[in-house]
Amino acid sequence: MGSDLYTPGHTLNASDFMARRSLQSHGNFFVPYLTPGVSVLDCGCGPGTITLGIASSVQPGQVVGVDFGASEIEHATARATTEAVGNVTFRVADCYALPFESDSFDRIFSHALLEHLSDPVRALKGFYRTLKPGGVIGICSPDWGGFMLSPRLRWNSRARSRRTQAFSLRTEAM
């Protein structure tokens, strides 16, 4: 499913990396819009840890997480069961073809998805179609202007110092 190649893939390693995220750590900007009772769609929800935070915030509002990775949806569903979060469902879906009626959700959230899409505007049009009038869409997407690696290893210190040099060259040229 999905027309784009998702380069990080859906290995357990990649999924566990995403699963360290929470609403507080990665979606705090959207918290003011997550009032009790609103319905929320999380597009590209991955392992669902941020989605579960959203669900706790909007209870008894209903939350749906969608992702085209079937294994991500399995992990997210298992997490919701373990943590006994009852107002969330996860389903496999392509964000370019959201399987929902128009005007379905009060809020639409998406974290770290758009940078993986070849046509993010097409996806955004779909988000807007499923948003209820007066609703709010919250998107967070990095521009990859920088990326820090840890722990401190010889090869990544070298990469870091090259990055610093590249940065000073750029700022000197300005």
Ligand X SMILES: C[S@@+](CC[C@H](N)C(=O)[O-])C[C@H]1O[C@@H](n2cnc3c(N)ncnc32)[C@H](O)[C@@H]1O
Min dist CB 48 to ligand X, Å, is: 8
Residue choice 40, 55, 64, 68 for contact with ligand X (CB under 6 A):
68
CA–CA distance, 165 with 104 (Å, rounded to integer): 49
Q: Which range binds ligand X by CB under 6 A, 30-38, 92-100, 150-158, 160-168?
A: 92-100
Residue nearest to ligand X (CB): 46
Q: How far apart are CA 67 and CA 45, in angstroms?
A: 6
Contact 136, 107 (CB under 8 A): yes
Of 52, 54, 72, 106, the one binding ligand X (CB under 6 A) is 72
Are 59 and 84 in contact by the 8 Å Cβ rule? The answer is no
Nearest one of 50, 46, 66 to 58, comparing CA atoms: 50
Q: Which stretch binds ligand X (CB under 6 A): 53-61, 107-115, 128-136, 144-152?
A: 107-115
Determine the Cα–Cα distance for residues 163 and 174; give it in Å rounded to an integer.
17
Give the span between the Cα atoms of 117 and 114, in whole angstroms. 5
Q: How far is the CB of 16 from ligand X (least distance, A)?
A: 11
Per-residue binding string, ligand X, 25-64, x by CB under 6 A, is: -x-----------------xxx---x--------------
Q: Nearest Cα to 42, choosing from 11, 80, 4?
A: 80
Q: Is 27 helix (H, G, I), strand (E, B) or coil?
A: coil
Minimum distance from residue 168 beta carbon to ligand X (Å): 30
Q: How far is the CB of 54 from ligand X (least distance, A)?
A: 11
Calpha distance 165→168 (Å, rounded): 5
Q: Is 76 in the site for ligand X (CB under 6 A)?
A: no
Interface ranges with ligand X (CB under 6 A): 2, 4, 6, 18, 21, 26, 44-46, 50, 67-69, 72, 94-96, 111-113, 116
